[in-house]
């Protein structure tokens, strides 16, 4: 299941000064979670006269942007393209870019150490069987590819492997590979990223 981003709350953050944005995001980026509400009272929330919860939701949204961008290792151009829709000024966009460039390696390192609830790939075993004849048809060629997929437990702490046995014919497998490769190529385009931002 894909994680849904926090709701963006930009009413106050549109007006935040660059140095306040830098200070507000530096701590959660170091700890990889939104800053607590208390420090926000004397920061942007107090200066903008907006509720702490409003700034908190904005920080959570920007943290989601940073973690997802780091996870996918997007380029400078793609990151700036992603923040354009937020409506910030050029100076704020550049500060966000610098924060991303400064912390993305550390964020990726921390994310790789976090436990995952999803099963992970461990190994794949396969066997190709070919039926050459049957009682009804003496001469035929029916290839069947049998695969056994070994998966890790997915952060349950047991370390046990689960097994999934799959069967398909070579033609269907080639079509599946081609479709997945096309989807992976399409998801990296700017057009796809704009669509994802609008539906989140």
Q: So where are the chain's domains? A: 18-114, 121-187
What burial class does residue 62 get, using C-beta atoms within 10 Å of its C-beta: 0-12 exposed, 13-18 middle, 19+ buried? buried
Calpha distance 71→110 (Å, rounded): 10
pLDDT in tens, the chain (200 residues): 344 444 444 444 555 555 556 666 665 665 554 444 445 445 555 555 667 777 778 778 888 888 888 888 888 888 888 888 777 788 888 888 888 888 888 888 888 777 767 788 899 999 999 888 777 777 777 889 999 999 987 555 566 788 999 999 989 999 999 999 998 888 888 777 776 765 55
CA distances (Å), 193 to each of 95, 101, 182, in order?
21, 19, 15
**Residue 88: predicted pLDDT:** 78
> Does the global pTM surpass 0.85?
no
> Residue 8's pLDDT is what?
42
pLDDT in tens, 65-97: 888 888 888 888 888 888 887 777 888 888 888
Q: How many CB atoms lie within 10 A of CB 86?
A: 18
Note the pLDDT of residue 127: 93
pLDDT at 155: 52
Angle at 48 between CA 27 and CA 66, to 5 degrees: 35
Instruction: Give the separation between CA 92 and CA 66, rounded to whole angstroms.
Output: 14
The pLDDT assigned to 51 comes to: 73
């Amino acid at each position: 299941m894909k994680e849904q981003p926090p709701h963006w709350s930009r009413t106050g953050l549109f007006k935040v000064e660059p140095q306040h944005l830098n200070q507000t995001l530096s701590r959660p980026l170091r700890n990889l979670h939104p800053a607590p509400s208390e420090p926000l009272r004397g920061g942007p929330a107090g200066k903008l006269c907006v509720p702490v919860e409003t700034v908190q939701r904005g920080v959570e949204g920007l943290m989601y942007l940073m973690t997802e961008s780091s996870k996918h290792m997007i380029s400078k151009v793609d990151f700036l393209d992603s923040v354009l829709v937020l409506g910030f000024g050029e100076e704020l966009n550049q500060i966000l870019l610098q924060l991303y460039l400064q912390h993305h390696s550390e964020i990726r390192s921390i994310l790789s150490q976090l436990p995952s609830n999803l099963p992970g790939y461990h190994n794949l075993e396969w066997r190709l069987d070919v039926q050459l004849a049957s009682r009804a048809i003496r001469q035929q060629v029916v290839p069947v590819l049998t695969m056994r997929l070994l998966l890790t437990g997915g952060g349950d702490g047991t370390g046990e492997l689960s097994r999934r046995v799959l069967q398909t014919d070579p033609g269907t497998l080639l079509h599946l590979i081609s479709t997945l490769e096309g989807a992976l190529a399409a998801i990296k385009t700017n057009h796809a990223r704009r669509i994802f931002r609008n539906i989140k």
